[in-house]
Amino acid sequence: MEEKLILVDENDNVIGTSNKLEVHQKGLLHRAFSILIFNTKGELLIQKRAVEKYHSKGLWSNTCCSHPIEGENEQNTINKKLKQEMGIVTEVQFAYHFIYKIELDNGLIENELDKVYIGEYEGEIKANPLEVSDFKWIGLELLRKEMASRPRDYTHWFKIIVNEHLEDFNFASSNSKF
């Protein structure tokens, strides 16, 4: 059975469902989530998307991202995807959401209400090679410098998160619990 993505209006009211490819071909506004996992040093775990991905392949991005699906509890989907992509089990908390729309290089359109979740993790990373080709921990200052010098190496939504929203949060506390 094909998973259906959740279509929403700009106020996050559900207006229907559709399959993933159709959503991205037509640029329909839908729910997505982005997970940011920090260590106790305040470094962010980022991943390089596998080259087999249907869009934004080979680009650096946030720790994990995906879509809530029809009929599944959103928190369960988040936990499942974080474990599936990075081999991580940790608590995450909702931080904020934003809407963006961008045409991708392969004729697809991202039009997402992206809910950002934040968590903390210390431990082994077991990245799934079907999802992730590389990963690293990086400080936010260095990330911003690298992103400014090589913006084409990063996903569109991740650049928005880093450049427009991260300054609202303090992640560098070793005692932090997001």
Residue pLDDT, tens place only, 90-99: 999 999 999 9
In sequence order, the 6+-apart residues with CB closer than 8 A to the CB of 75 are none
The model's pLDDT over 25-35, given as tens digits with 9 standing for 90+, comes to 999 999 999 99
**Tokens at residue 144, please?**
């911003």
The model's pLDDT over 117-176, given as tens digits with 9 standing for 90+, comes to 999 999 999 999 999 999 999 999 999 999 999 999 999 999 999 988 776 555 443 344
Going along the chain from its start, the domains and CATH numbers come out as 4-168 (3.90.79.10)
Distance in angstroms (rounded) separating the CA atoms of residues 31 and 17: 10
Catalytic residue among 43, 110, 112, 120: 112
Phi, psi of 83 (to 5 degrees): -70, -40
- Is 112 among the catalytic positions? yes
Q: What is the rounded average pLDDT for all residues in the chain?
A: 89
> Which of these, 12, 11, 6, 23, lies nearest to 67 by C-alpha position?
6
Cβ pair 6, 30 in contact under 8 A: yes
Distance in angstroms (rounded) separating the CA atoms of residues 112 and 24: 10
**Mean pLDDT score, 75-94:** 95
**Mean pLDDT score, 3-7:** 92
- Is 65 among the catalytic positions? yes
Cross-strand bridge partners of residue 111:
101
Q: What pLDDT is stored for residue 167 in this prediction?
A: 65
pLDDT at 57 over 90: no
Cβ pair 125, 86 in contact under 8 A: yes
Any idea which residue has 């700009």 for tokens? Answer: 10
pLDDT at 52 over 90: no
Cβ pair 113, 13 in contact under 8 A: no
H or E element at residue 81 = helix 74-86
**Tokens at residue 99, please?**
């809407």
Distance in angstroms (rounded) separating the CA atoms of residues 78 and 171: 20
Query: How many percent of the chain have pLDDT more than 70?
Result: 91
Which has the minimum average pLDDT: 31-40, 98-107, 111-120? 98-107
Catalytic residue among 65, 85, 110, 120: 65
Using alpha carbons, list the distances in angstroms from residue 144 to 46, 48, 51, 59, 115.
13, 16, 23, 15, 21
pTM of the model: 0.90
Q: What pLDDT is stored for residue 109 in this prediction?
A: 93
